[in-house]
Amino acid sequence: MVLLPALALAAGAMAISDQLVSRLEACGLVGIYLVYIGAVIREGRAAQIRAEEIKREAQEGPRLPPIVLVLLGLGLVYVGATVLVDGGIRILDRTSLAAGFVGGALLGALASLDEVLLEVLPVLRGMPELATGNLFGTVAAFATGVIGLAALVRPLEIDSAASSAFIASSVLYAVVALAFLLRGRAGKLVGMIVLAIYALWLLFAVRL
């Protein structure tokens, strides 16, 4: 589970190495992500834990037909994404910041707030395995599936700030992955190191 997202990061790095993600590369990234999903499903245990948690949350949720909830959720995602992207464009118009930095730092941080909750809440509820699985799955999804689907819509051009954001995310994951491989857990010290590296990247990227 720890090494599979690392392979996804490597695939994403190869795709953006020339600062352009073509539709052909996008197909490859999406394919790699599907392979990752297949491997996780075969693993079975983590998928079963997540399925039980989703079922329990669904039973506690509003008594609406599933299709209605799906459509409402997609609508809210679209509205939120539109507002977020428009805000990022306004920031670019009013500042001298690089587009890659605004996307990688500002928009990336805002878009990841839900991921913070998805990591913290399972730990508070005594299910750290769920948080760990979500962490690994998110890394693999963003490194391959998200980049691939976006590039299928339109080939992506990567600037230096966006490239450094990808490198920084790889370094951060390497720290967390090393801790899990050596000790099977990531404690407060690892958390502080990761936050410190992220702060250093912000200081570096804002100057690009």
More confident site: 55 or 95: 95
Q: What is the pTM of this model?
A: 0.72
**pLDDT classification of 1: cutoffs 50, 70, 90:** low
Return the pLDDT at 27.
94
Return the pLDDT at 59.
63
User: Could you read off the pLDDT of 129-141 as tens digits, one per residue?
Assistant: 777 888 888 888 9
**Number of domains observed in the structure of the chain:** 1
3-state secondary structure of 2: coil
User: Could you read off the pLDDT of 15-66 as tens digits, one per residue?
Assistant: 998 889 999 999 999 999 999 888 877 766 555 665 566 566 656 656 677 7
User: 20 forms bridges with which residues in the sheet?
Assistant: 157
User: Could you read off the pLDDT of 108-128 as tens digits, one per residue?
Assistant: 878 777 777 778 877 777 777
Q: How far apart are CA 152 and CA 145, in angstroms?
A: 10
Domain holding 18, by residue range, is 3-205
Tokens (6 digits) for 178: 């090393």
Q: Which of 48-52, 62-66, 70-74, 83-87 has the highest mean pLDDT?
A: 83-87
CB neighbours of residue 203 within 10 Å? 8
According to DSSP, the β-strands at 20-21 and 156-157 are antiparallel
| Helix/strand/coil (H/E/C) assignment for every residue in 86-145 | HHHHHHHHHCCCCHHHHHHHHHHHHHCHHHHHHHHHHHHCCCHHHHHHHHHHHHHHHHHH
User: Could you read off the pLDDT of 154-202 as tens digits, one per residue?
Assistant: 999 888 878 888 888 888 888 888 888 888 888 888 889 888 988 888 7
Return the pLDDT at 184.
81
